[in-house]
Amino acid sequence: MAQNPSNEVRRQLLEDAKTIAVVGLSNKPDRTSYMVSQAMQNVGYKIIPVNPVIAGETVLGEKVVASLSEIDQPVDIVDVFRRSEDMMPVAEDALKMQHKPKVFWMQQGIANEDAAKLVADQGIEVVQDMCIKVDHALLRVGK
């Protein structure tokens, strides 16, 4: 597996980030994607829910969009809660965004080398198999 950015680089990415698009964000409060997104929102990040099944609904006070390519504002981090084998279409969608994200973050338990290479080749930092909420706490990010 390709090496993740160093702790210092990940800390800086989280410090600099303002907006996180969360692919696979559930509208069910007992789901990990919901709990992690809520925690990130509570420390000051803007969350953009991305889930075609519930597009148009509101989750965590934000309107859900069907795909990354529908987002018309800058996004710093694309945080993905999808199975490893479903990463390639998400990576391809990330590259179609109007504003290229700085980070493509695959949550804990998720890794896909082909998807990682695709976005990394476009200058996007890639984090695989790490929880953004855990990293935020462990790295003592200033937000």
Per residue in 40-69, pLDDT (tens digit) is 999 999 999 999 999 999 999 999 999 999
Domain ranges of the chain: 7-138
DSSP state at residue 14? H
Find out whether 37 and 60 touch, Cβ atoms under 8 Å.
Answer: yes
State both tokens at 105.
């973050």
Q: What is the average pLDDT score of the chain?
A: 96
Q: What is the pLDDT of residue 140?
A: 86
Q: What is the pLDDT of residue 54?
A: 98
| Alpha carbon of residue 3 to chain centroid | 18
Q: What is the pLDDT of residue 138?
A: 92
* Tens-digit pLDDT profile for residues 106-130: 999 999 999 999 999 999 999 999 9
> What is the distance between the alpha carbons of residues 127 and 107, in angstroms, rounded to a whole number?
8
Q: What is the pLDDT of residue 142?
A: 78
> What is the distance between the alpha carbons of residues 74 and 77, in angstroms, rounded to a whole number?
9
Q: Mean pLDDT throughout 10-37? A: 97
Domain covering 7-138, topology: Rossmann fold (3.40.50)
- pLDDT band at residue 1, thresholds of 50, 70 and 90? low
Q: Is residue 143's pLDDT more than 70?
A: no
